[in-house]
Amino acid sequence: MKLIVAEKPDQGRTLASVFKMKKRDGFIEILPNEIFPKGAYVSWAIGHLTELSAPEQYNPAWKKWSLDTLPIIPENFKYEVVKSKAKQFQIIKKLATDQQVTEIIHAGDAGREGELIIRNILRLANCMKPMKRLWISSLTPKAIKEGFQNLLNEADTKNLYFEAYTRACADWVVGMNASRLYTLLLQKKGYSDVFSVGRVQTPTLALIVKRELEIENFVSEPFWEVLAKFNINGKKYSGKWEKDGDSRIKTKEMAEKIAAFCDGKNAEAAEVISEKKEFLPPLFYNLSAIQAEANRRFKMSPKKTLDVLQGLYQRGIVSYPRSDSRYVTPGEAEGFPSILNKLQANPDYQQLFPLPNSSIKNNKRYVNEKKVTDHYAIIPTEQVPNLNRLSGDELKLYDLLARTLIAAHYGPYIAEYTTIKTVVEGRAEFISKGKVQLDEGWKKVLPQKDSDKEPELPAVQQGETGTVLKSEVKESKTQPPKRLTEGQLITLMKTAGKHIEDKELEKVLMKAEGLGTEATRAGIITMLKDRAYIEVRKNLVYATAKAKILVTAVGGQVLASPEMTAKWEQRLHQIGEGEASPKQFIEQTSKMIKHLVSETSEGSSGWTFSDELTNAFVPGKKGGRSRRTTSLGKCKKCDGMVVDKGTFYGCSNYQKTKCNFTLSKQILGKTVTQKNIKKLLAEESTDVIEGFQSKDRTFNAKLYWDGEDSKLKFDIAAQPVNQGG
Q: Please give the DSSP secondary-structure letter assigned to residue 599.
A: H
Is 421 in contact with 270 (CB distance < 8 Å)?
A: yes
C-alpha–C-alpha distance, residues 389 and 573, integer Å: 41
C-alpha–C-alpha distance, residues 708 and 364, integer Å: 69
Query: Which own/partner contact pairs does 625-630 have at CB distance under 8 Å and 24+ positions apart?
Result: 628/192, 630/674
Q: Is 320 a catalytic residue?
A: yes
DSSP-assigned letters across all residues of 666-681: EETTEE--HHHHHHHH
> In the chain, helix, strand, coil percent, each to 5?
40, 20, 40
Strands 2-6 and 103-107 turn out to be: parallel
Q: Please give the DSSP secondary-structure letter assigned to residue 46.
A: -
C-alpha–C-alpha distance, residues 658 and 671, integer Å: 26
Question: What are the CA-CA distances from residue 635 to residues 618, 639, 680 (Å)?
Answer: 19, 6, 11
Its sign, for the CA torsion 340, 345, 348, 354, is positive
DSSP-assigned letters across all residues of 612-659: HHHHH-----BTTBPPP--EEEE-SSSSSEEEE-SSEEEETTHHHH--
Is 19 in contact with 44 (CB distance < 8 Å)?
A: no
Is 380 in contact with 405 (CB distance < 8 Å)?
A: yes
C-alpha–C-alpha distance, residues 676 and 690, integer Å: 13
DSSP-assigned letters across all residues of 499-566: G-S-HHHHHHHHHTTSSS-TTTHHHHHHHHHHTTSEEEETTEEEE-HHHHHHHHHHTTSGGGSHHHHH
Q: Is the preceding omega at residue 354 within 30 degrees of 0, hence cis?
A: yes
> Residue length, the chain?
725
Its sign, for the CA torsion 504, 508, 510, 511, is positive
C-alpha–C-alpha distance, residues 59 and 82, integer Å: 19
- What is the residue type of 415? A
Query: One of 41, 165, 320, 413 is an active-site residue; which one?
Result: 320
C-alpha–C-alpha distance, residues 670 and 689, integer Å: 8
64 in helix, strand or coil?
coil
- What is the residue type of 199? R
79 in helix, strand or coil?
strand
C-alpha–C-alpha distance, residues 572 and 447, integer Å: 41
Dihedral, 34, 36, 38, 43 alpha carbons, nearest 10 = -150
- Helix extents (H) in 138-276: 141-149, 158-188, 201-216, 252-262
C-alpha–C-alpha distance, residues 135 and 160, integer Å: 13
Biggest distance spanned by C-alpha atoms of the chain: 98
C-alpha–C-alpha distance, residues 22 and 513, integer Å: 43
C-alpha–C-alpha distance, residues 24 and 192, integer Å: 50
Strands 698-706 and 631-634 turn out to be: unpaired
Is 429 in contact with 423 (CB distance < 8 Å)?
A: yes
Active site amino acids: 320
